[in-house]
Amino acid sequence: MKVLLDTSVLVAAMVEAHPAHTLALPWLQKAKTRIHTGLVAAHSLAELYAILTTLPVQPRILPATAYQLIKRNVLDSLEVVALTQEDYAALIEHLSETGLLGGTTYDALILGAAWKANVDQVVTLNEKDFRRIYPGLSEKIVSP
């Protein structure tokens, strides 16, 4: 099964203090042990770094630590799905046609990667928002 993990799930899985840690961790573990084919949107790599390095946890997650967490848990374990210029153009056209705006754009990038990779499931903590962006992927969007 091909499973794309959203940034929200990756953060929760990697940060023990996160309220959804125990729900998200098994999804990452299944991808790391190849029970599932784990995927991640290229956009999520930068988003994950930004979140980890600014997360209000003690002790703070330093940049070098954030990189190591991402390398060990994502880069070494998951397939990265990148969008092309054409993919971005189609995605922005979709957003404009549906009237979606603002931060929804970043969730749409993740869903665009899921669509491109033809995943079986998209795992997110933002299930409601994701369904609103791409109703055609609704049946593939799950919460941990």
Residue 112 belongs to domain with CATH number: 3.40.50.1010
Count of alpha carbons within 13 angstroms of residue 34, beta-carbon side: 1
d(CA 62, CA 55): 10
CB neighbour list of residue 30: distance below 8 Å, 6 or more residues apart: 3, 36, 38
Q: Choose the weakest-confidence range: 36-40, 108-112, 135-139.
A: 135-139
Q: Provide the percentage of residues in the chain whose pLDDT is more than 70.
A: 100
Name 117's Cβ contacts closer than 8 Å, sequence gap at least 6: 2, 4, 39, 79, 81
When divided into structural domains, the chain yields a total of 1
* pLDDT score at 71: 98
pTM comes to 0.94
Q: Which domain holds residue 77?
A: 2-142
**pLDDT over threshold 90, residue 60:** yes
